[in-house]
Amino acid sequence: MQRGLSLFFLLCLLVMSPGWGTAEEGRPILAVRVEGIISASTAEFMVSAIQRAQREKVEALVIELDTPGGLDVSMREILKEMLGSHTPVIVYVSPSGGRAASAGVFITMAAHIAAMAPGTNIGAAHPVNMGGEKMDKEMAKKVVNDAAAYLRSISEQRGRNAKWAEDAVRRSVSATEKEALQLHIIDLVSPSLQDLLKQVDGRLVNTSGGKITLHTKGAPVKRLEMSFRDKVLKIISDPTIAYIFLILGFYGLFFELSNPGSILPGIVGGIFLILAFFAFQSLPVNYAGLLLILFAMILFLAEVKVASHGLLTAGGVISMILGSLMLVESPVPSLRISKVVIFVAVSVTTGFFVFVVAKGLRIQMKKPTTGREGMVGEIGVVRSRIDPEGQIAVRGEIWTATCDQAVEAGEKVRVIGVAGLKLRVEKE
């Protein structure tokens, strides 16, 4: 009996022990989606994803990529982390209609496994100046040579078409997903993430930590979403949003300076300006454009304080238009400020200050309603005959008045001047 119980407990322990009775579950796949321009916030998110994949020892990290390109500095931060990763990194250009252009080419070529969805494209990696000023011919040549050598080195390290990679930089060539597969730019074409994981199952990849065989078929996929902070930083880093924050910030300071002690406009304006300048540190900002916008706001503020009959407002409008167009200069459409937003901002600002100036001019030209000057033009009734002096009733008051001609009591006269405590009038 005792022996039977011992065997029963031993059998239970064996069944309950790991790997007995049930198949061992594979390590999960970590997946992240990266869309839009490669900015400082995007780089921070991708770097943290690669570090987390290594920390959690997942089977692989899949980066679903769709980008028109972005900043060289941010791109290089991502590439350093990818090239030094012990965890296999799979870059999947998707969905259909997506692309990996400019910086996206570098990121795709640096992956341990590169894949594309049907209807996507890759290429056009010619470097462009993101600093706002023109590059001279010699400097442009150096930048192109540096980028070409960098991408060629990455391609050779990953065993991909280094000749095409160099042409993508020097000649801005592009390729569809089918052409990319034929030219050995990528490793495979896949219509979905699940199909991709089936296709790469069993492949041997060479990471910085050594060779690893992938076991991805049927592996659970764990998605890593951007945190609230990352999403906010990504929104702020959009050039159009940064421009709107800049204009709102200047408006806030303008109202605070126009009405000292309001407090709230100054606080809100300061917050918007800080957010705008935070975004500008990761954008191709031309500071001449920023100074022109600042100068425009100074001119607008001066218009309220100084009677220039609209000249300061006209100068402010011109300065704001030029500054807005110059503020962010980039050949990449996603890194430029929307011209519609510029038009609306300039129109609203111009309309507001034209309204303020027009109001001011009307007030300046308006006839005084109080004091001696306010009496000129008023109509009065003669109380006692004026010849040449008499009394009139005007505004409910009795005044002594003089006139060049005799005026009888009861007749109306118009005030044409004030001399001391006497009014000069003429017959109405």
Positions marked active-site? 102, 142
The string of DSSP letters for 133-147 reads SPPPHHHHHHHHHHH
Beta bridge partners, 189, equal 116
Other beta carbons within 10 angstroms of residue 64's beta carbon come to 21
Q: Please, which residues have CB within 8 angstroms of residue 306's CB and are 6 or more apart in sequence? A: 312
Q: Are 32 and 61 in contact (CB under 8 A)?
A: yes
CA-nearest of 131, 56, 176, 181 to 331 is 131
d(Cα 280, Cα 363) in Å, to the nearest integer? 41
d(Cα 100, Cα 122) in Å, to the nearest integer? 5
d(Cα 328, Cα 81) in Å, to the nearest integer? 29
d(Cα 329, Cα 267) in Å, to the nearest integer? 30
Other beta carbons within 10 angstroms of residue 68's beta carbon come to 19
SS3 content of the chain, % helix, strand, coil (to 5): 50, 20, 30
Classify residue 186 by its DSSP letter.
S
Q: Are 124 and 169 in contact (CB under 8 A)?
A: no
What are the tokens at 146? 């540096």
Classify residue 385 by its DSSP letter.
-
Question: Phi and psi of 330, rounded to 5°?
Answer: -160, 140
